[in-house]
Structure 1
Amino acid sequence: MTATPVRPSTVDGELFRRLHAAGVVVVTAPGDPPAGFTATSFTSVSLDPPLVAFSLSRTASAWPAVSAADHVAVHVLSARQERVARTFATSGIDRFAAHGDWRTGPEGVPLLGGALVQLVCRVAGQVTAGDHTIVLATPLTGGYAESGGRPLLYHQGGYADLQHRWTQ
């Protein structure tokens, strides 16, 4: 079988956005008001000990609260939560009022209802990387929706749904 060749192009921000594929999360942090933002940069870093990471632009409206937070929550969104992703990606609005379905959880972090997975994490460190900061965090508590469901994905500059699931 012959592989289809990839035609290389110079990668700028717009091309990178179209090439990038990832799961969609909303990260929330305590504050007055609380902060939250949509991210596609969430990843696991280590299993022993458990460690995750996400990145955020230092010019983002959520950055001051996230940079000062000792704890954050990460919400892996379900395929039915595209509206939540869009709400927490919109600037200039009260994202929590627009969303409505949230409560204050452990360590004061805002917890969103309906997420596929929810992790409350202690911030373990921050690393400057380009115009973003990578936040490393240790999951303290976590859970997943009993109803299951498929994750919301981001690919080719838009939201997508996982069509197939292969078994191990």
Structure 2
Amino acid sequence: MRAVNGLDADAFRTLLRRQAATVTVVTAPGSPPVGFTATSFTSVSLRPPLVSFCLDRGSSSWPTLERAGHVGVHLLGEDQYEVARTFATSGIDRFAAHTGWRDGPHGVPLLDSAVAWLLCRVTEHVTAGDHAIVLAEPLHGQHTHSAAPLIYHMGRYTSLAPPSATVERQAA
């Protein structure tokens, strides 16, 4: 076990499992194309529009993604846990296992069933420990339906509970 500021890696992972995260699939053109499940996606800036996600630099997707000028970011809906699992599985051809995709602009694979997708231009890679933080500028986007998001929490995929009237009033 490797220590991380006094915490070993397993303890660190256990603590962070308590944070819920939306589930995305990031895709990049290549021969073959690559794609992976990410729970580290976030918006960074509105002016200019920027998003980020993280990827282990030891991942089989990293060499292709490191060279990619454009990527697709797909926000998954609550019914898409199989898509998330497929793109999180190592050692398989993820695009052969998931047939619902097409080539988009710049050759970026776009998943047909995502709740929403963004086509992004990669602007920067920032090395952060064993990962890279990828910054990207959204160029195009589309939402296809309004399903609740797929969430990753405590090591499993889940979805949001329907909002209650109390929660809705508090948020307003």
Compute the TM-score of the two structures, normalised by the length of structure 1: 0.90
CA distance in 2, matches of 1:47, 1:71: 19
Q: Corresponding residue for 2:3?
A: none
**Does 1:70 find its partner at 2:63?**
no
Counterparts of 1:78-117 in structure 2 under 5 Å?
78-117=77-116
3-state SS of paired residue (1:103): strand
**Does 1:151 find its partner at 2:152?**
no
Q: Residue type matched to 1:99 in 2?
A: H
How far off is 1:14 after superposition?
3.2
How far off is 1:79 after superposition?
0.4
CA distance in 1, matches of 2:16, 2:93: 26
Distance 1:94 1:17, change over 3 A: farther
Distance 1:99 1:17, change over 3 A: farther
Give unpaired runs (5+ residues) of structure 1: 1-8
Q: Residue type matched to 2:80 in 1?
A: Q
CA distance in 2, matches of 1:155, 1:40: 10
Q: Residue type matched to 1:78 in 2?
A: G
- Residues 25 and 75 in structure 1, CA contact (< 8 A), matched pair in contact too: yes
How far off is 1:61 after superposition?
0.8
How far off is 1:25 after superposition?
0.1
Q: Corresponding residue for 1:162?
A: 160
How far off is 1:130 after superposition?
0.8
- Residues 17 and 157 in structure 1, CA contact (< 8 A), matched pair in contact too: no
CA distance in 1, matches of 2:127, 2:7: 24
How far off is 1:21 after superposition?
1.5
How far off is 1:164 after superposition?
3.1
CA distance in 2, matches of 1:10, 1:74: 32
3-state SS of paired residue (1:87): helix
Compute the TM-score of the two structures, normalised by the length of structure 2: 0.88
CA distance in 2, matches of 1:143, 1:104: 15
3-state SS of paired residue (1:79): coil
CA distance in 2, matches of 1:131, 1:75: 24
Q: Residue type matched to 2:41 in 1?
A: F
CA distance in 1, matches of 2:17, 2:29: 32
CA distance in 2, matches of 1:63, 1:18: 24
Deviation per CA, 1:32-74: give whole Å up to 9, x if none: 0000000000000001110000000011111011100000000
3-state SS of paired residue (2:83): helix
How far off is 1:17 after superposition?
4.5
3-state SS of paired residue (2:71): strand
Q: Aligned residue pairs: how many? A: 159
- Residues 81 and 152 in structure 1, CA contact (< 8 A), matched pair in contact too: yes
Percent identical residues? 57
Q: Residue type matched to 2:157 in 1?
A: Y
